[in-house]
Amino acid sequence: MAAFSFNKLVIFGVGLIGGSLARALRERAGLAGRIVGVGRSAASVARALELGVIDEAAALDDDTALARVLEGADIVLLAAPVAQSGPLLARIAPFLDARTVVTDAGSTKSDVVAAAREALGARVAQFVPAHPIAGRESSGVDAALPDLYVERNVVLCPLAENTADDIARIAAMWRATGACVREMSEAQHDRVFASVSHLPHVLSFALVDQILDSPDAELKFSFAAGGFRDFTRIAASSPEMWRDVCLANRAALLAELDDYAAVLARFRAAIDASDGAALEAAFARSRVARKAWQERGAITPPGDSAAK
């Protein structure tokens, strides 16, 4: 497998995800290519420049700067909220070199693929959809880490139009960060992550919201401890990002919410009936599954048909 290298990487959205990729390539992989950050906010890219995460900053609304930084770019990464994918692709399309490979880091894929087809048209072959499965409750470039992706999954959802070389190039970039690269279709991706990522975030936000609406919220929060902290950690995530994810993956997430509501109803019925045996059996089944998942790790779960 050829080692990854690049001359110029342009990152739209140098926050936690984009900033961590930049730091990983520079600090972990030791690569010397030029990294350019582009953002809606001058302050955010200025901070990335100040921290040494990027080598050059540009504003999204400056045509001259955009044309300059995109000229000769090997790879462009869209690391912005998924709802911005279409507008960003349309914005950069006139300035893209024919050899530039564009990829993303969005948490949903079907909507992003549709946006890419609309924005890029016949040039959609240049877009390789991707999703790094990593994050923290903190956001922004100050939260970026060079080891964020080590032993984490990155899912590629290649298009029929993509060349094997372009897919391999994006895979090699993520492997250089220490990640494990896997492939699945965009539809399968959205079903899987509605279950194991999007639903948990909704539930975490919902629990905090429920307590906030109670008359003794302050008292409850004052006694919250480890279990509450662990369950609600991800409720500190970006509201903008998770708003977009929920709306972008609406159908799959609604199906998961319905299934979860059915399980809650079953648990409620058992509690109402004082059916301790049913509760213990359900809790034991979940405990065994959780321990098995934890012991085998998050990189290559056995029997996972999603991997290619």
- Angular region, 293: left φ>0, alpha ψ -120 to 50, beta rest: alpha
What is the 8-class DSSP label of residue 4?
P
Q: Mind listing the pLDDT tens digit for each residue in 66-93?
A: 999 999 999 999 999 899 999 999 999 9
- Exposed/middle/buried for 186, CB within 10 Å: 0-12, 13-18, 19+? buried
What's the rounded Cα separation, in Å, for the pair 20 and 148? 6
Helix (H) or strand (E) holding 150: none
- With a pLDDT cut of 70, the percent of the chain lying above it is 95
What's the rounded Cα separation, in Å, for the pair 105 and 189? 13
pLDDT of residue 65: 92
pLDDT of residue 167: 97
What's the rounded Cα separation, in Å, for the pair 146 and 37? 16
CA distances from 129 to 9, 43, 92, 171, 267 (A): 16, 28, 16, 11, 39
Asked if 8-185 and 189-296 have one fold, the answer is no
Please determine, for residue 40, whether its predicted confidence score (pLDDT) is greater than 90: no
pLDDT of residue 297: 57
Confidence label for 138 from pLDDT (cuts 50, 70 and 90)? confident
- Domains of the chain by residue range: 8-185, 189-296
pLDDT of residue 140: 86
Backbone angles phi, psi at 168, to 5 degrees: -65, -35
- Exposed/middle/buried for 79, CB within 10 Å: 0-12, 13-18, 19+? buried
Helix (H) or strand (E) holding 285: helix 276-296
Average pLDDT over residues 271-300: 87
What's the rounded Cα separation, in Å, for the pair 252 and 1? 36
> Is the distance from CB of 180 to CB of 153 less than 8 angstroms?
yes
pLDDT of residue 295: 86
Choose among 267, 292, 299, 271: nearest CA to 282. 267
What's the rounded Cα separation, in Å, for the pair 76 and 104? 8
pLDDT of residue 58: 93
10 Å Cβ neighbour count for 8? 19
What top-level class would CATH report for the domain 8-185? Answer: alpha beta
Please determine, for residue 137, whether its predicted confidence score (pLDDT) is greater than 80: no
Which of the listed CATH numbers 3.40.50.2000, 2.160.20.10, 2.30.22.10, 1.10.3660.10 matches domain 189-296? 1.10.3660.10
Please determine, for residue 21, whether its predicted confidence score (pLDDT) is greater than 70: yes
pLDDT of residue 139: 78
Q: Mind listing the pLDDT tens digit for each residue in 92-117?
A: 999 999 999 999 999 999 999 999 99
pLDDT of residue 305: 35
Please determine, for residue 304, whether its predicted confidence score (pLDDT) is greater than 50: no
Q: What is the pTM of this model?
A: 0.84
Average pLDDT over residues 188-217: 96
pLDDT of residue 230: 93
Say whether 76 sits in a helix, a strand or coil: strand
Q: Which of 17-26, 177-186, 230-239 has the lowest mean pLDDT?
A: 230-239
10 Å Cβ neighbour count for 158? 21
pLDDT of residue 255: 96
